[in-house]
Each structure stands twice: as structure tokens, then as C-alpha cells.
Amino acid sequence: KAGVTQTPRYLIKTRGQQVTLSCSPISGHRSVSWYQQTPGQGLQFLFEYFSETQRNKGNFPGRFSGRQFSNSRSEMNVSTLELGDSALYLCASSSQVTATEAFFGQGTRLTVV
Amino acid sequence: AQTVTQSQPEMSVQEAETVTLSCTYDTSENNYYLFWYKQPPSRQMILVIRQEAYKQQNATENRFSVNFQKAAKSFSLKISDSQLGDTAMYFCAFIPFSTGANNLFFGTGTRLTVIP
């Protein structure tokens, strides 16, 4: 059974640009959550989608958005990139309404220059 | 507010020895799950062990066990017979049932180094 796949693994963008990250959950999983990991702030919850609906959103500006497709794949978009958006972005998938076990991808390392 | 505190930023242990990582949390919820995740240099978060808050029995997974004290809101991880492959960042996390969403609250992590 394939794990959670995040693409791309590495990304370098310039301030002001926008970026789209992709996450393919484990087959059959309907929940996808996104997290931002930085040395200073640790792991912070961005948002979660379940069956194409956003169920919860963390405390991030509106520049951060996401969506989920009917096949449960999810994308995260960040517009007008800032230097502070440099981080490891992790996604997690779960088959449950409440994640009794969340499976993580290897993350996308975004560097904003 | 839901918070998780890991008071040990770094720890080290000799190979084959035992080490305990501390975690405390704060929540007004009564039903929740607690987790320990491991993040090796490969960056992928791997679930080490989980505990249901309504279960009094401490969870055990091979060399990994927890000491869950619900009243004290404490959830420590004990690693026995430490191995070099245990070197990683360890994150304590929990998820309350009431949010109706999969939102894990993480601690700041403990970097564990196993010394040969």
C-alpha cells in the first residue's frame, strides 16, 4: 500500500511569487491535514479537508489556502510569498473522522529567497 | 486552549540504555488521543505509540512504552534498549475528539541522540 506522497520534495521561490504543493493520501483515506514546520514555531496546523470540505483552519493569513479533490488528493497554495514562509510543509492522511492514526508524507521543503 | 509542552529540547542516551522523554499537555477535553511521533533526518513523521485517554492501561509497543497520568496531564515516553536508529526528533501530540477535525497539537520536540 503506497504511503502519503508529497510533491515536489524541494522548492525554491522568490518573494512575491505563489506556490502550489500537492499531497496524495493513502488510498481510501478521506482526511488530509497540512502542517507547517519551522525551527522557531515548530509544527503548526494549517487546515484539514475531509471529503472535499474544509473542516478546520489554523491561524494563518488568507494567503494560505487549500482544496481537496474528489479523489482525496489535496493541494495547498501560498500566494505572495514572504521570506517567513520558508518551512517544511507536511501533510497527513487519515481514514478516520478523528485521526486515531495519522500518516505523514515526507514533506515539501519550501525556500523563499 | 490546547497546548503541549516538552521541556527537554535535547537528550542523549548510551546505546542499550533506557531513556524517558517528558510531555505535559493542557486541555479541558475529556476524550482525546495522545501520540508520540518520531522524525528522523529523512523528515518523515512516524507514529511511535498512541494512547486513548479513556484507557487507564499504559500503551506499549515493543521497546516503547508510555506513562500516562491523566489527572496530571502527563504523557512520558520510555525507550528501552536504545538503538542507534532511535536517534531522531520526538514529538508529543494530541487530538481532542470535540473539534470534529483532524487537528493534531504538537509539542516543540525533543532531539534524542543515541551514543554508540
- Interval A38-88: pLDDT, tens: 998 899 999 999 999 998 899 999 999 999 999 999 999 999 999 999 999
Residue ranges of chain B whose pLDDT lies below 70: 99-101
According to DSSP, residue B58 is labeled P
Segment A90-104 shows an average pLDDT of 82
Distance between B44 CA and the closest CA of chain A, angstroms: 4
Identify the pLDDT of residue A40: 85
State yes or no: pLDDT of A101 exceeds 90.
Answer: no
Per-residue pLDDT tens over the stretch B90-116: 999 998 877 666 789 999 999 999 999
CA distances for A62 relative to A47, A77, A95, B78, B102, angstroms: 12, 10, 27, 41, 20
User: Tell me, what's the pLDDT at B31?
Assistant: 87
Alpha-carbon gap, residue B27 to B32, rounded angstroms: 9
pLDDT band at A97 (very low <50, low <70, confident <90, very high): low
Is residue A1 very low, low, confident or very high in pLDDT (cuts 50, 70, 90)?
A: low
**Taking CB atoms and an 8 Å cutoff, what residues of chain B touch A10?**
none
Would you state the pLDDT for residue B2?
A: 84
Query: Model confidence at A99, in pLDDT bands (50, 70, 90)?
Result: low
A48/B103 Cβ within 8 A: yes
- Cβ within 8 Å, pair A98-B42: no
> Which of A45, A97, A103 is the closest to B103 by Cβ?
A45
Host H or E run for residue A88? strand A87-94
Q: Rounded CA gap, B37 and B45, in Å?
A: 6
